[in-house]
């Protein structure tokens, strides 16, 4: 193990034992200072972000990548608002999940506790630095943050501001550790430190996440990609369906909860597809459609088999006509990534069938897939979205960043 990784992980572990002793009041006070300091440091953050953007442009990185990388006044305000929202939420640490008195008189409690030291490996979204610091700190978890090299200046600036905020709040140790070394060998080393790091959460593209899962000896919570679907049912409100499809694809196409495939029931396809094409054409959205759709509306690009499992993260969407709701559900369960799906229908029984049978972390009725988000769920923010089924599923907020311990209290009982 390198000296750098050894020292970093050791300090993080020591901090985790100190952090557990901070009260909710102390943590909330620090979070509000963090929120204020993000706004007060806007000029510095935009200046440092501009360095990352300039380098990304020189490297000819795509528009969707630049969108994820870019900080704006609005995004800085959202980062600040998120920290304030986390401060206002109830602290789950110390919550008694259950309590019972055993026959022998022992009082047994199941109590929420922090996970410990959490390694976050992420790519081009610098707001992740702020969101993760806020959520981890609120739950008394120490964060080791390894952002992508393309956001180096932005991440360094954000982490520096937040650590100074912690000191301003009277806390004399660091709960956040930004990995300054950008080489992949350091990440590989960190992923083997199962004695000091308790959990890994990767955030980024599928290749990054698969690499983390393959390398790590530490438990990993992840989602590989967001192949999200909208099914426009034959009983759907077509005006609402059009608005929802537009929002889910166009509002921010570069994120994991943007819709990638639209399924349309055959009975309303002729009414719906012309309006969909007209709107999407005006906004520069490329539609890759199945043969049935292309027979109804000329001008759709032909979809190939890989389109049904493709995460475009861009102004591209696949389109397919289905004969039944059962076919829609089967398609989603076969090609989806178990992230987020939505049905547009006024028929409650069919909507209930959809949310029951679709195997995804988030199943919606008559709303955009873009609502699959920790802030929108009222969680303050999210540290990631999990498509796993154990421990956490969907947007991961405060409770998902805790585990539990059993506490027994007695009066000298011994086992016979």
Cα–Cα distance measured from residue 56 to residue 70, given in angstroms and rounded to the nearest whole number: 10
| Across 122-126, 274-278, 411-415, least confident range | 122-126
pLDDT class of 107 with cuts at 50, 70, 90: very high
Strand 362-365 to 385-386 pairing: unpaired
Domains of the chain: 3-221+396-409 (3.40.605.10), 228-371 (3.40.309.10)
User: Rounded mean pLDDT of the chain?
Assistant: 95
The count of other CB atoms within 10 Å of the CB of residue 222 is 22
pLDDT class of 21 with cuts at 50, 70, 90: very high
Residues of the chain with pLDDT > 90, as a percent, come to 87
Q: What would the mean pLDDT of 306-311 be, rounded to a whole number?
A: 96
pLDDT class of 414 with cuts at 50, 70, 90: very high
| Across 93-97, 166-170, 178-182, least confident range | 178-182
Is residue 61 over pLDDT 90? no
pLDDT at residue 136, as a whole number: 97
pLDDT class of 384 with cuts at 50, 70, 90: confident
Is residue 320 over pLDDT 90? yes
Is residue 381 over pLDDT 80? no
pLDDT class of 398 with cuts at 50, 70, 90: very high
pLDDT at residue 350, as a whole number: 98
pLDDT class of 63 with cuts at 50, 70, 90: confident
Q: 152 with 124: CB under 8 angstroms?
A: no
pLDDT at residue 184, as a whole number: 87
pTM assigned to the model: 0.86
Q: What would the mean pLDDT of 366-379 be, rounded to a whole number?
A: 91
pLDDT at residue 32, as a whole number: 98
pLDDT at residue 235, as a whole number: 98
pLDDT class of 183 with cuts at 50, 70, 90: confident
Three-state DSSP at 378 gives: coil
Is residue 379 over pLDDT 90? no
Cα–Cα distance measured from residue 288 to residue 311, given in angstroms and rounded to the nearest whole number: 13
pLDDT at residue 132, as a whole number: 93
Buried b (16+ CB within 10 A) or exposed e, 27-44: bbbbbbbbbebbeebeee
Is residue 380 over pLDDT 80? no
pLDDT at residue 48, as a whole number: 97
pLDDT digits (tens, 9 = 90+) for 187-246: 999 999 999 999 999 988 888 999 999 999 999 998 888 999 999 999 999 999 999 999
pLDDT at residue 16, as a whole number: 97
Residues of the chain with pLDDT > 70, as a percent, come to 100
pLDDT class of 378 with cuts at 50, 70, 90: confident
Three-state DSSP at 364 gives: strand
Cα–Cα distance measured from residue 381 to residue 85, given in angstroms and rounded to the nearest whole number: 8
Q: What would the mean pLDDT of 38-48 be, rounded to a whole number?
A: 98
pLDDT at residue 102, as a whole number: 97
Cα–Cα distance measured from residue 198 to residue 117, given in angstroms and rounded to the nearest whole number: 5
DSSP 331: H
pLDDT class of 41 with cuts at 50, 70, 90: very high
DSSP 173: S
pLDDT at residue 328, as a whole number: 98
pLDDT at residue 243, as a whole number: 98
């Amino acid at each position: 193990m390198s000296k750098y990784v050894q020292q970093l992980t050791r300090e993080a572990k020591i901090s985790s034992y100190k952090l557990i002793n901070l009260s909710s009041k102390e943590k909330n006070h620090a979070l509000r200072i963090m929120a204020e300091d993000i706004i007060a440091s806007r000029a510095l953050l935009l200046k440092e972000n501009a360095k990352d953007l300039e380098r990304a442009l020189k490297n000819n990185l795509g528009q969707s990548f630049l969108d994820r990388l870019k900080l704006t006044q609005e995004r800085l305000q959202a980062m600040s608002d998120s920290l304030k929202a986390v401060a206002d939420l109830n602290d789950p640490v110390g919550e008694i999940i259950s309590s019972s008195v055993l026959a022998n008189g022992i009082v047994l409690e199941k109590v929420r506790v922090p996970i410990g030291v959490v390694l976050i490996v992420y790519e081009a979204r610098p707001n992740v630095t702020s969101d993760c610091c806020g959520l981890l700190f609120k739950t008394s978890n120490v964060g080791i943050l390894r952002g992508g090299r393309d956001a180096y200046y932005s991440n360094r600036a954000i982490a520096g501001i937040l650590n100074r905020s912690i000191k301003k709040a009277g806390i004399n140790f660091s709960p956040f550790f930004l990995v300054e070394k950008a080489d992949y060998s350091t990440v590989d080393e960190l992923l083997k430190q199962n004695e000091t790091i308790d959990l890994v959460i990767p955030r980024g593209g599928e290749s990054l996440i698969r690499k983390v899962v393959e390398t790590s000896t530490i438990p990993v919570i992840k989602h590989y990609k967001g192949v999200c679907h909208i099914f426009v049912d034959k009983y759907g409100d077509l005006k609402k369906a059009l608005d929802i499809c537009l929002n889910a694809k166009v509002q921010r196409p570069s994120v994991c909860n943007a819709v990638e495939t639209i399924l349309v029931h055959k009975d309303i396809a002729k009414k719906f597809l012309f309006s969909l094409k007209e709107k999407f054409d005006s906004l520069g959205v490329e539609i890759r459609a199945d043969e049935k759709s292309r027979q109804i509306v000329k001008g759709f690009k032909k979809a190939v088999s890989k389109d049904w499992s493709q995460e475009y993260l861009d102004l591209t969407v696949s389109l397919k006509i289905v004969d039944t709701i059962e076919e829609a559900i089967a398609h989603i369960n076969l090609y989806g990534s178990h992230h987020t799906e939505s049905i547009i229908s006024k028929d409650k029984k069919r909507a209930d069938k959809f949310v029951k049978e679709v195997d995804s972390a988030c199943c919606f009725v008559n709303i955009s897939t873009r609502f699959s988000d920790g802030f929108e769920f009222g969680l303050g923010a999210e540290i990631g979205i999990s498509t796993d089924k154990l421990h956490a599923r969907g947007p991961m907020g405060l409770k998902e960043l805790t585990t539990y311990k059993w506490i027994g209290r007695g009066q000298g009982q011994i086992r016979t």
